[in-house]
Amino acid sequence: MGMVGGGRGAFIGAVHRMAAAIDGQIELVCGAFSSSPEKSKLSGADLYLPPDRCYGTFSEMFEKEAALPEGERMDFVSIVTPNHMHYPPAKEALEHGFHVVCDKPLSFSMEQARDLVVQVDESGLLFALTHNYTGYPMVKQAKAMIRNGKLGEIRRVMVEYPQGWLSTNLEESDNQQASWRTDPSKSGVAGAMGDIGTHAENLAEYITGLQIKELCADLNTFVPGRRLDDDGSILLRFDNGARGVLTASQVAAGEENNLRIRVYGTLGGFDWSQQEPNTLLVRWLDRPAELMRAGVGSMDPAAEAAMRIPAGHPEGYLEAFANIYKNVAYCIQARLAGEKPDPIYEDFPSVRDGLRGMQFIEKVVQSGKQGAAWVKL
């Protein structure tokens, strides 16, 4: 693996590196860790990489790595930059023949997102988007239950993602994360909805297998002087006729990362929260509720493949993140061996899921500007 971004002082780069390393299938071999060539080389030294594999720019990295023999050069790149710098390295990586793992959202604009879809289709390369919450075993179990008809026809989807960390104007301090996430030149047209709302949207579509057809959005900016939304509520209509509500807020004082989804069908429903990720509460129409625990009893093969340790030993955020990297690694290994990968390992968010996320952001902002008008995706 090579990496773009994630140098000294960055948060998410370290998360990606830890997740990629968990299963022992991926080795970090090179990187362009910062827009500052000097900082990039110092960051590479922090990670004990050889100086000649610590590059000043990502363009230099792609060019020089592509010239190395197979088995020595990187096989894929992980892009962990702010939103406005997802597209340039992703585009160049694909042009140089490298598979891509990219942090979400896919890009800065819809135009960039559409171009990446075309490039991935034409190149045939793998492209994974790190909507990491899809990696939890009980999320995969919930998805399988819906796919197998256990809940009947889906009628109602309720998904929420409250945080409280931006309840004050933290961006006016030296907090790097708050600074770029509230800056439209780096984050894009949306704030909270682009940052965590897209996680909620992706989780709802991933679990249910449905797509949002129409939405009606009420966006808010509570902190004075903030340039992007920090709160919002959205009514959803899905392509099977189901209805839903999505809320995302970064000014819910006291909340941490309380992502939660409830889905109800004609036969029953379930409740999952990422702050208690190894538990799935299933409620039935005609019998008592059931508390399912990761690793206990019969589980779907995709859920079992996402677990590493016996039941009762907590697996969380890093392990869910790692499941995306593990699946990508096995798919790349299969390609290098001229084989077809096991379909279980092809289960990771794709460039098209990223396009859905960008469409969601665009339509949410459009609806909000039109006074919460209904708009079609």
Within 10 angstroms of residue 7's Cβ, the number of other Cβ atoms is 26
| Predicted confidence (pLDDT) per residue in 66-108, tens digit | 999 999 999 999 999 999 999 999 999 999 999 999 999 999 9
Token readout for 197 is: 């709302």
For residue 77, the cross-strand partners are 2, 100
Domain shared by 121 and 142, yes or no? no
Domain shared by 158 and 277, yes or no? yes
Residue 253 backbone phi and psi in degrees, to 5: -50, 130
Q: Within a domain: residue 349?
A: no
Q: Within a domain: residue 317?
A: no
Q: Which of 94, 129, 164 is the last residue of a domain?
A: 129
Q: Helix, strand, or coil here: 146?
A: helix
Domain shared by 88 and 143, yes or no? no
Rounded to an integer, the average pLDDT of 172-181 is 92
Rounded to an integer, the average pLDDT of 321-337 is 97
Domain range enclosing 125: 2-129
Predicted local distance difference test score (pLDDT) of residue 226? 97
Q: Within a domain: residue 173?
A: yes
Rounded to an integer, the average pLDDT of 128-145 is 98
Predicted local distance difference test score (pLDDT) of residue 152? 98
76-79/99-102 β-pairing: parallel
Rounded to an integer, the average pLDDT of 313-339 is 96
Q: Within a domain: residue 330?
A: no
268-273/290-293 β-pairing: unpaired
Q: Within a domain: residue 223?
A: yes
Domains of the chain: total: 2
Res 174 pLDDT > 90: no
Res 217 pLDDT > 90: yes
Domain shared by 119 and 142, yes or no? no
Predicted local distance difference test score (pLDDT) of residue 305? 95
CA 181 vs. chain centroid, Å, equals 16
> In whole angstroms, what is the distance from residue 6 CA to residue 17 CA?
9
Domain shared by 360 and 214, yes or no? yes
CATH assignment of the domain containing 71: 3.40.50.720
Domain shared by 105 and 140, yes or no? no
Residue 20 pLDDT level (bands cut at 50, 70, 90): very high
Q: Within a domain: residue 327?
A: no
Q: Within a domain: residue 216?
A: yes
Q: Which of 112, 129, 146 is the last residue of a domain?
A: 129
Question: Percent of the chain at pLDDT above 90?
Answer: 98
Sheet containing 374-376: which strands, arranged edge to edge?
290-293, 279-284, 268-273, 260-265, 154-162, 243-249, 231-238, 212-220, 374-376
Predicted local distance difference test score (pLDDT) of residue 42? 97
Please list, in sequence order, all residues whose beta carbon lies within 8 angstroms of the beta carbon of residue 51, skipping any fewer than 6 positions away.
41, 44, 45
CATH assignment of the domain containing 275: 3.30.360.10
Please list, in sequence order, all residues whose beta carbon lies within 8 angstroms of the beta carbon of residue 322, skipping any fewer than 6 positions away.
18, 19, 20, 22, 23, 135
Res 9 pLDDT > 90: no
Q: Which residue in 147, 188, 171 sits closest to 354, CA to CA?
A: 188
Res 356 pLDDT > 90: yes
What DSSP line would sit under 264-288, residue for residue? EESSEEEEEETTSTTEEEEEESSS-
Residue 358 pLDDT level (bands cut at 50, 70, 90): very high
Q: What is the DSSP letter of 172?
A: G
Res 245 pLDDT > 90: yes
Domain shared by 221 and 294, yes or no? yes
Q: Which of 100, 129, 158 is the last residue of a domain?
A: 129
Give the helix/strand (H/E) hosting 237.
Answer: strand 231-238
Predicted local distance difference test score (pLDDT) of residue 261? 98
Domain shared by 249 and 305, yes or no? yes
Domain shared by 370 and 259, yes or no? yes
Q: Within a domain: residue 101?
A: yes
Residues 318/15, Cβ–Cβ less than 8 Å: yes
Give the helix/strand (H/E) hosting 122.
Answer: helix 110-123
| Predicted confidence (pLDDT) per residue in 29-47, tens digit | 999 999 999 999 999 999 9
Predicted local distance difference test score (pLDDT) of residue 49? 98
Domain shared by 214 and 295, yes or no? yes
pTM of the complete model: 0.95
Domain shared by 72 and 139, yes or no? no
Predicted local distance difference test score (pLDDT) of residue 126? 98
Domain shared by 282 and 211, yes or no? yes
Residues 134/261, Cβ–Cβ less than 8 Å: no
End-to-end CA distance of the chain: 35
